Amino acid sequence: MAFKIFEFISFIFLTFILLAPIGHAKRSTPSHKTSSPFDFINKLKGCHKGNNTKEIHKLKAYLEKFGYLKYENKTHATDDDFDDILESAIKTYQKNYHIKPSGIVDDETISKMQAPRCGVPDIVNGTNYMHPRNMKHEPGSSNIHTVSHFSFIEGNPRWPSSKTHLTYRFLPNFPPNAMEPVARAFQKWDSSTHFTFARAQTNQNADLVIGFHSGDHGDGSPFDGRGGTLAHAFPPTNGRFHYDADERWSIGAVEGAFDLESIALHEIGHLLGLGHSSVNAAIMYSGIGSGLTKSLHADDIAGIRALYNR
Ligand SMILES: *[C@@H]1O[C@H](CO)[C@@H](O)[C@H](O)[C@H]1NC(C)=O
Ligand SMILES: *[C@@H]1O[C@H](CO)[C@@H](O)[C@H](O)[C@H]1NC(C)=O
Ligand SMILES: *[C@@H]1O[C@H](CO)[C@@H](O)[C@H](O)[C@H]1NC(C)=O
Ligand SMILES: [Zn+2]
Ligand SMILES: [Zn+2]
């Protein structure tokens, strides 16, 4: 019992020191009612083709950001017309998230779209689904009963086959207490794949570089304040992985905060070449809720094996 209480106190203490340096940006916001950059989607409840509602251009921007839309004519990208292209993008989104592809902004679609998520697009130019591409399917193989829903990044970028040991380093502004959760995430990928990872010595070059950034930070994928997108990472062999510094971060499951290690597991998947999975329980699913932890799933491991032919 005493040990449990001690554990609990250390946990609270850790959470406090962790949130202190990172979560300062929006301290004045009451924590019980936090707004999200995705809140506008609520106002579009029930919208369908033919509607012309004030916030529709934001829905177009949202779907373009995550890969579902690509207007040739920029006028249509920024107007509030619910046109054929938008309807088709919503249907593709709904198929990816196992929602009936009605093309209507219904409750289920709103609830998925509003969830905090990774900033990496699900697909490219609205042309495909979150399924493996360019893969040889072998119907006679022993995997015939395995339904996998992992995906690769467009063009299947990956590390050269000789490069199985990857080093990582933290940017100078990285909170020291957030390093251990990231190290644990690397350890988990290390023990489940053919990759090995090690932290590079200070001042050494590293394959992977991890940092905290806020708003527009110069890589073409600005963060959006509290809520909305939480983190993103670039495909092989770029190596950059960024946390949104405006989120509330935690070590482990803490109500209203996002678990550093779970998000690191997800972003490392991108660093290795995985795209988003349509399996809810997979770490490569685009959304990760607050107040919970997730771990690697068979679908994630199957994705790495397929990408690297292991
Ligand atoms: C969408 O259009 C229909 C008519 O087709 C209308 O009844 C409805 O109020 C509109 N919805 C919104 C949110 O504007
Ligand atoms: C874009 O759409 C607008 C409105 O329909 C139209 O007036 C304009 O000519 C289009 N531009 C191009 C380049 O097609
Ligand atoms: C997506 O669209 C852009 C611009 O239209 C084009 O340059 C790019 O090649 C497209 N990508 C794919 C994978 O189709
Ligand atoms: Zn992602
Ligand atoms: Zn970034």
Round the CA-based radius of gyration of the chain to a whole number and report it: 20
CB of 154 within 6 A of ligand 3: the answer is: yes
Best CA proximity match to 135, nearest among 125, 148, 116, 121 = 148
Q: Which pLDDT band, with edges at 50, 70 and 90, does 57 fall under?
A: very high
DSSP, collapsed to helix, strand or coil, labels residue 192 as helix
Its pTM stands at 0.86
Phi, psi of 241 (to 5 degrees): -135, 120
CB of 155 within 6 A of ligand 3: the answer is: no
Question: How much distance in Å is there from the Cα of 220 to the middle of ligand 4?
Answer: 16
Domain regions of the chain by residue span: 39-114, 165-307
> pLDDT, tens digit, for every residue of 160-196?
999 999 999 999 989 999 999 999 999 999 999 999 9
Confirm whether 108 is a catalytic residue.
Answer: no
> pLDDT, tens digit, for every residue of 246-293?
999 999 999 999 999 999 999 999 999 999 999 999 999 999 899 999
Q: Which pLDDT band, with edges at 50, 70 and 90, does 131 fall under?
A: low
Q: Which pLDDT band, with edges at 50, 70 and 90, does 102 fall under?
A: very high
User: From atom 3 of ligand 3, which residue's Cα is the shortest distance away?
Assistant: 125
> pLDDT, tens digit, for every residue of 228-249?
999 999 999 999 999 999 999 9
CA distance 49 to 178: 45
For the CA of 55, the nearest ligand: 1
Question: How much distance in Å is there from the Cα of 45 to the middle of ligand 1?
Answer: 10
Q: Please tell me which residue, 261 or 142, carries the higher pLDDT value.
A: 261
CATH code, 39-114: 1.10.101.10
Best CA proximity match to 82, nearest among 74, 93, 90 = 90
Quick check: 25 and 245 in contact, CB under 8 A?
yes
Q: What is the pLDDT of residue 159?
A: 98
User: Strands 196-199 and 165-170: what pairing?
Assistant: parallel
CA distance 237 to 207: 8
User: From atom 2 of ligand 3, which residue's Cα is the shortest distance away?
Assistant: 125
Best CA proximity match to 159, nearest among 193, 130, 185, 191 = 193
- Find the mean pLDDT for residues 111-127: 92
Chosen CATH of 165-307 out of 3.40.390.10, 3.50.50.60, 3.20.20.70, 3.40.50.880:
3.40.390.10
Any known ligand binding at 247? yes
Quick check: 96 and 130 in contact, CB under 8 A?
yes
